[in-house]
Structure 1
């Protein structure tokens, strides 16, 4: 039973650690320390159990296995939560008026710029969206033009999240998900 407890504790603390590191990278100054507190608290339980059974190889395997599974689980949890904001940049040589209209109709805020690339005139479209909306946004882009070049990048700070797709967040959750740069 103790090896299972150690493995489970490691899955939990490493998952929290993964989320904490991602929170730090995204500038979530409130969320990261809260996750860190619980990460270390759970780790103390795991290491305490391991030290009580220091001569048991099964306990070491449980500790290491929990770490590996926790790393995977943390990444999966973060993908499912899809917290944060992305900037999607689209570059296309085709007329972009239908794509622009569709993105606006779907509730995405967009900025359109006529530009010149290596092969001539292009349209550049910028759109900020919640990370959870990335799949839908990319699907619209590829439906319009399967050959359009697009890139998706994480945005660390936004000045105002009210204009993002799918409505605005509010209160504490808004401050945790969309921190403002000071």
Structure 2
């Protein structure tokens, strides 16, 4: 029974580490990704060694179950850490002057555009936000432009501009 619990525990550690390693690699943080990859591999080899040493159906099921639960834990940890930035596009039918000012007053940089949609003129705001501040931005948009359409893109790299200055101030 002790081996089974150890397999489960190792999987509950291994998979979140795997998740974080992948995220760090995608975000360009290769040194952290390398360290996490080393830890991940050690846990993986150790857990797999236990499973293969005493190969039972229960051990294999617990290994797989631990992997699935580890994915849930890894996803939870990733959402809590909210590493990185998003480029958010806010699309509105009317010019959102008040929303633009409120967003700026809250430390975000905003660039606005006018375009032609199927049913007439539309407006788009581009806002770069740390993922940790996404909820603040969403709440502002919901309060001032409840019918707005939002799209968020993961931003891996950027340089200069007011947005960068605003991000440094707001963190």
TM value normalised by structure 2 = 0.90
Which blocks of at least 5 consecutive residues in structure 1 are unaligned? Answer: 169-182
Distance in structure 2 (CA, Å) of the matches to 1:106 and 1:165: 13
User: 3-state DSSP class of the match of 1:143?
Assistant: helix
Aligned residues: 167
User: 3-state DSSP class of the match of 1:30?
Assistant: helix
User: Contact 1:104–1:110 (CA<8 Å) still a contact in 2?
Assistant: yes
Distance in structure 2 (CA, Å) of the matches to 1:35 and 1:146: 41
Which blocks of at least 5 consecutive residues in structure 2 are unaligned? Answer: none
User: Contact 1:108–1:165 (CA<8 Å) still a contact in 2?
Assistant: no
**Counterpart position of 1:167:** 170
Query: How many angstroms does 1:123 deviate by?
Result: 1.8
> Which structure features the higher share of helix residues?
2
Query: How many angstroms does 1:22 deviate by?
Result: 2.3
Distance in structure 2 (CA, Å) of the matches to 1:87 and 1:126: 7
User: Contact 1:133–1:165 (CA<8 Å) still a contact in 2?
Assistant: no
**Counterpart position of 1:14:** 15
Q: CA RMSD in A?
A: 1.6
**Counterpart position of 2:45:** 44
TM value normalised by structure 1 = 0.85
Distance in structure 1 (CA, Å) of the matches to 2:134 and 2:54: 47
Deviations 1:88-136 (A, max 9, x none): 1011122311001100111111111222222222221101010111111
